[in-house]
Amino acid sequence: MNLPDPSSLADRAERALAACGVEWPAGDLSAHTPITGTKLRTVRPHSGREVDDAVEAAHRAFLTWRTVPAPARGAVVRRLGSLLTEHKEDLAEIVTLEAGKVTSEALGEVQEMIDICEFAVGLSRQLYGRTMPSERPGHRLSETWHPLGVVGVISAFNFPVAVWSWNTAIALVCGDSVVWKPSETTPLTALACHALLRRALADCEAPIDVHQLVVGGRDVGEALVDNPLVALVSATGSVRMGRAVAPRVAARFGRSLLELGGNNAAVVTPSADLELAVRGIVFSAAGTAGQRCTSLRRLIVHESIADKVVGRIASAYAQLQVGSPFDSGVLVGPLINEAAYEAMQKSLSAARGDGGTVVCGGDRVGESGFYVTPALVRMPAQTEVVRAETFAPILYVLTYTDFDDAIALHNGVPQGLSSSIFTLDQREAERFLAADGSDCGIANVNIGTSGAEIGGAFGGEKETGGGRESGSDSWKAYMRRATNTVNYSDQLPLAQGVEFG
């Protein structure tokens, strides 16, 4: 496996950052590339006091921003979308350098930002309330939606820009300001997006402080979470992180929107189109080196076709090219770091200890960076290692006899993000989508578990946190609701027939 020269990667990062207009001093935080494991550049992080200053600046900007008409706020997001389109290749370059995504996936993530900007612009003219019939004559009952305040966004390394855009584009048209704390693993993508959004704000003569960027580790995140001026904390990460964030925000009566772990499964029934199923399974399990929150981690296959399905997946895995994400034909890039590799090896060892058989994969490729071949593991039962999420390309295969057992296996994990079923039987498909079927926030038929579109609400149940981002009516999380009663009569009747006088 031939990897690029580390110095050339650092040069590529500097060129892409400069093209996006980034001006940020060097400092104590090092940004590394998983492609070679080497340093790209350093960044000055923020202190806890600087986080508070950023929140206060965002709050002051919010007091003005909330009074700007929503369509005018949408104009800022429209401008951001045009800048993202102009710098699509620059941003994708940084995503690949920092997160290790193959070029097509990196370009797809930037396109996702562009798409959510288009969605949010339309939304800026559709922040609808309702009018309800009043039981009192001469009265009108309605509801209105108002900007919430400062929104704190904490994002993860695996989607370093898309998840930020889901929150920020929607929050801005809703009239909120945003303070973004990116993963300390991927600060450079954040610098580029922040620079482009600041440019969009300036071009539209909007309050420049409506978006703030705070860079650093856990102390920076804690300062953001604990600040009483932050009305909503939208946090993406591990279940462990969510367990720390939610109580701290709740203790000060703030709101939290959590997108946490996923242990996503696909059911393959005897009627399934296996050609279609294998393609969907392989992308969902091996894409982004298994480092998507929606990556496929469990495969629940009817016992009558299990050997055939496993054979086809193993054959497809053998054809996957693992290597530098910049190389043509490569479909699987590196794991983010050594810790991810060690976690994968630990899980594979535990699976063997539970009686599992590694059909293929799990081997490290090369000596620089942490490249692995996707692993396919047959398990006799859904043991603890299968019930836990490992952020790496491991696909556990379980078998079932009865469809009810398949549903029970599917739902028998603490997480509840994404799910799918491959079947040509309408009854099975509809049952999977019914109340007693998949218990996940996302349930698909005849596609894999990853690759959600921005038009639908994204999020999951149980330990996934219950939050919803992106499309549908997810905008309501970023606003506050007021119920209004207007008396246009000259009388004062009370509700429920109460008399007082």
Q: What is the pLDDT of residues 227-282, one digit of tens each?
A: 999 999 999 999 999 999 999 999 999 999 999 999 999 999 999 999 999 999 99
Place of tokens 């071009």: 203
Co-location of 172 and 290 in the same domain:
no
Co-location of 317 and 176 in the same domain:
no
CATH code: domain of residue 249: 3.40.605.10
Classify residue 371: in a domain, yes or no: yes
Half-sphere exposure of 498 (CA within 13 A, CB side): 5
Classify residue 387: in a domain, yes or no: yes
Percentage with pLDDT > 70 across the chain? 100
Co-location of 275 and 247 in the same domain:
no
Co-location of 82 and 164 in the same domain:
yes
Per-residue model confidence as pLDDT tens digits over 265-275: 999 999 999 99
CATH code: domain of residue 409: 3.40.309.10
CA angle 36, 325, 362 (to 5 degrees): 75
Q: What is the mean pLDDT of residues 372-387?
A: 98
> Which of the residues 93, 98, 184, 259 is marked catalytic?
259
Co-location of 415 and 471 in the same domain:
no
Classify residue 453: in a domain, yes or no: no
Closest by CA to 475, choosing from 127, 236, 117, is 127
CA angle 182, 46, 84 (to 5 degrees): 40
Co-location of 138 and 211 in the same domain:
yes
Per-residue model confidence as pLDDT tens digits over 317-355: 999 999 999 999 999 999 999 999 999 999 999 999 999
Active site residue 89: no
Co-location of 228 and 273 in the same domain:
no
Co-location of 244 and 332 in the same domain:
no
Phi, psi for 256 (deg, rounded to 5): -130, 145
Q: What is the mean pLDDT of residues 439-457?
A: 96
281 contacts: CB under 8 Å, gap ≥ 6: 266, 268, 296, 299, 313, 395, 422, 448
Q: Which strands make up the sheet holding 357-360, listed edge to edge? A: 357-360, 375-378, 394-400, 296-302, 264-268, 418-422, 442-445
* CA 490 to mean position of chain CA atoms: 53
Co-location of 405 and 422 in the same domain:
yes
Classify residue 487: in a domain, yes or no: no
Classify residue 460: in a domain, yes or no: no
Q: Which domain holds residue 404?
A: 264-445
* Token pair recorded at residue 92: 């994708």
- Split into its structural domains, the chain has a count of 2
pLDDT over threshold 80, residue 501: no
Co-location of 233 and 353 in the same domain:
no
Co-location of 367 and 414 in the same domain:
yes
Classify residue 268: in a domain, yes or no: yes
Classify residue 490: in a domain, yes or no: no
Select from 399, 416, 445 the last residue of a domain. 445
Classify residue 319: in a domain, yes or no: yes
Q: How high is the mean pLDDT of the chain?
A: 97
Co-location of 255 and 376 in the same domain:
no
